[in-house]
Chain A
Amino acid sequence: MARFIVRRIGQMLLVLFAVSALTFLIFNVIPGGDPAVRMAGRHPDPGQLARIRAEWGFNDPVYVQYLKTMQKTFTGDLSSYTTNVDVVDELRKRAPRTFALAIGAAIIWMLAATAIGLYTAARAGRFADRSITILALVGISMPVFWVGALMNYYLGFKWGIFPNGGYVPFADDPWEWFYHLIMPWTALSILFIGVYSRVLRSNILDTINEDYVRTARAKGLSERRVMYRHVLRNSLIPIVTLWGLDFGAVLGGGTILTETVFDIQGVGQYAAESIGQLDVPPVLAITLFGSFFIVLLNTVVDILYAAIDPRIRLQ
């Protein structure tokens, strides 16, 4: 276990290095204007420009620029090319919003998909199953920005059932926090509910024919207990893995569209804005933030998988 974690941390560092280097290189190649000029603002004097160039290493080779930027990232004085706002401060401010969105959505899609998966598996081939299958396909096919825009327009703007975008911190008003997040959570969950409920349905239908389920019935267990303890539990094992990975992916960039549509002002929206302005420092920091969670959740999933399926051993 200890060796496993040490090795994973090593891998994580490697991934973060590769991701940051690549991001930096890509944005270096894209013509984005002279960053020193952008940072200095209007009517800069030559001395100021020279100072900025020296500080960020813009006159040095690319790898020196990269190292200087990374150094700034980890010492906490990385600032945006366009606004001079401290990137790490900004991330710290925005991260709770993204977490609230991602965690809530992950819980919603898992619960909803479990309920729908169970229901459709129990009625496999019947009308209810078929109609939900079609609904799931529709849900999988609808892009978040479109659903989100529709929800915003009808539920938010036209009928005024929900607030039309925005975010209220939990500490300010828990109810408003919840109320504002209902639509974004739903929009973000729809795709995952569709996918997960389909996967769970087919897992359940496979598991139900397993010999050990027949054994469970032969033991005289109630049908309910057979379903929950033996069928559902074993069917959920692969789903839990998927869940961890997807949760990591949502944290690491999957909320960009949702946040932008609903104006959450989280990390994802920050990413969208920064990319639009070719603002390298925030893009770099957000990429690191995202890849960190993706790699972290991957590791957590592996550990969790070994915990729920004893046949898996970490090494």
Chain B
Amino acid sequence: MPEPLLSVRDLEVSFATDEGVVQAVDGVSFDIGQGEILAVVGESGSGKSVSAMTLMGLTRSPNARFSGSAMYKGEDLISASDERLQDVRGAEIAMIFQDPMSSLNPVQKIGAQIVEQIQAHEALPDAQARERVVELLERVGIPRARERIDSYPFEFSGGMRQRVMIALALSCDPNVLIADEPTTALDVTIQAQILQRIRSLRDETGAAVILVTHDLGVVADIADRVAVMYAGRIVEQGSLDDIFYDPQHPYTWGLLGSITRVDKPRPARLPAIAGLPPSLADRPEGCHFRPRCPHEFAKCTEVPPLEARVEGGQHLDRCWLTVEQKRSDREVLPGEIGLRSKEGAPA
């Protein structure tokens, strides 16, 4: 494998709150290479957004504690100074946020907001910066870009605003694009267009994309590799095919089983994983998924390391079951992967 563009090792993020210390990210490691799309999936509160934002230093606060490293071009982003990170943000690593309705300053023209980012990183005269913004807006598919550059965010629809956010993220040709649930707030047809846009930009610019999402449909559509997070840890990581066709962790089975499908008979109830994710301030010992897992056994009180258990070496997971056990247990319905509900667990 060639030298990865961004290499995250043992990343831990915790926040001191009134309820105690919340361990939001607990030992996350992954690599991402140029032109690769890595999807980070998990439920709300699994630490996926915090991990992504921490790479850019956006979670820094007096209450936050960090450890681990994120090496980007030979430099650690976690321990970098605020000033150094300012240079990285927007220029080297750019981010697209979840809610395009609130992520743009409501009282500034969209063109000015993009120009502001360009000029924060490059000494470019106003006229040239504006010219670049027009090109960017055209590239992300905003019609009549030259006129719309002086519009305010409220004059745009949600999908258009997300395009503006993408144009903003691309304005300085970043090497890494972090998209934090970029399509969650959009309706389905717009979702597809935005994903298409992100993919084609990856193809054109060769940027690495970290796509944070809880939507497995989006993942299947666009990702090269997938990391599944649960309660602050990556519980499984592999190629798209590994995760969708040979999932190793019971939590992944549950996620896959929760997808509603139009090509199958409609179930009486929407399938869901029984129980609730643990509070990050008070997580179960050992495997965090243990209380919700129907396959729990004695060894699960020890923390399973994230390692390759399947032949091949690139498919990692955190589950003590043997590969054979997993492959026989996960089949709930013929031809479909899922997770049985745990006996005695609340539905």
A153, CB-defined interface residue at 8 Å: no
Which residues of B are found within 8 Å of A220, using beta-carbon distances? Answer: 86-91, 117, 120-121
Taking CB as reference atom, which chain B residue is nearest A225? B120
A51, CB-defined interface residue at 8 Å: no
Asked whether B107 lies within 8 Å of A237 as measured between CB atoms, the reply is yes
Asked whether A212 lies within 8 Å of B103 as measured between CB atoms, the reply is yes
Given A215-B97, A218-B56, A221-B86, A308 and B117 contact (CB-CB distance below 8 Å): no
Number of inter-chain CB pairs below 8 Å = 71
Taking CB as reference atom, which chain A residue is nearest B83? A222
Asked whether A211 lies within 8 Å of B168 as measured between CB atoms, the reply is no
Q: How far is the CA of A222 from the CA of B91 in the complex (A)?
A: 13
Asked whether A230 lies within 8 Å of B90 as measured between CB atoms, the reply is no
A42, CB-defined interface residue at 8 Å: no
Cross-chain contact of B94 among A218, A222, A234 (Cβ < 8 A): A218
Asked whether A311 lies within 8 Å of B168 as measured between CB atoms, the reply is no
With a 10 A CB-CB cut-off, give which of A214, A217, A218, A233 has the most chain B CB atoms.
A218
Q: How far is the CA of A244 from the CA of B89 in the complex (A)?
A: 39
B58, CB-defined interface residue at 8 Å: yes
Q: How far is the CA of A221 from the CA of B87 in the complex (A)?
A: 8
B229, CB-defined interface residue at 8 Å: no
A219, CB-defined interface residue at 8 Å: yes
Asked whether B86 lies within 8 Å of A211 as measured between CB atoms, the reply is no
A210, CB-defined interface residue at 8 Å: yes
Asked whether A310 lies within 8 Å of B107 as measured between CB atoms, the reply is yes
Q: How far is the CA of A310 from the CA of B86 in the complex (A)?
A: 29
Given A211-B97, A211-B99, A223-B82, A217 and B58 contact (CB-CB distance below 8 Å): yes
A219 CB to closest chain B CB (Å) equals 4
A263, CB-defined interface residue at 8 Å: no
Which residues of B are found within 8 Å of A223, using beta-carbon distances? Answer: 82, 86
Given A217-B89, A218-B90, A311-B152, A234 and B105 contact (CB-CB distance below 8 Å): yes
Which residues of A are found within 8 Å of B99, using beta-carbon distances? Answer: 211
B175 CB to closest chain A CB (Å) equals 14
10 contacts between A and B (CB under 8 A): A211-B99, A215-B104, A218-B90, A218-B94, A219-B90, A219-B168, A221-B86, A309-B106, A309-B107, A310-B152
Q: A interface vs B, CB < 8 Å?
A: 210-212, 214-223, 225, 229-230, 233-234, 237, 308-311
Q: B interface vs A, CB < 8 Å?
A: 56, 58, 82, 86-91, 94-95, 97, 99, 102-107, 116-117, 120-121, 152, 154, 165, 168
